[in-house]
Amino acid sequence: MDLVLTNEPELINEVENLGKFATSDHSLLFWRINVSRQETSTKEIRFDYSKMDLNGIREELRRCNWDEEMKGNVIESWALF
């Protein structure tokens, strides 16, 4: 006896017996499963870095007096950053 077991019979569309499996007394079964995937929309924010103003960022970084900004210890510098 060769079986396809399921707790949702409506998922199984058709079962086909493909004959004996090699030297076994079992049959090879082929079946189709009815599934559908649901589209999910995400509200996750994704940045498009290809549209960033790279020249503007560079200009802002050039304007900064890094010697002045980075004097002091690491904790103070990180807090300013």
Question: How far apart are the C-alpha atoms of 33 and 5, rounded to whole Å?
Answer: 12
Give the residue, 16 or 4, on which the prediction is more confident. Answer: 16
Q: For residue 70, is it within any domain?
A: yes
pTM over 0.85: no
Q: For residue 29, is it within any domain?
A: no
Give residue 1's pLDDT.
58
Tell me how far apart the terminal alpha carbons of the chain are, to the nearest angstrom.
71
Residue 10 has pLDDT above 80, yes or no: yes
CB 12, CB 6: distance < 8 Å: yes
Q: For residue 42, is it within any domain?
A: no
Q: For residue 33, is it within any domain?
A: no
23, two tokens: 């030297």
Q: What is the pLDDT of residues 48-72, one digit of tens each?
A: 999 999 999 999 999 988 888 777 7
What's the number of domains the chain is made of?
A: 1
Neighbouring-strand partners of residue 20: 27
Q: What is the pLDDT of residues 21-51, one digit of tens each?
A: 778 888 888 888 888 888 887 788 888 999 9
* 72: containing domain: 50-80
For residue 25, the number of C-alpha atoms closer than 13 Å in the C-beta half-sphere is 1
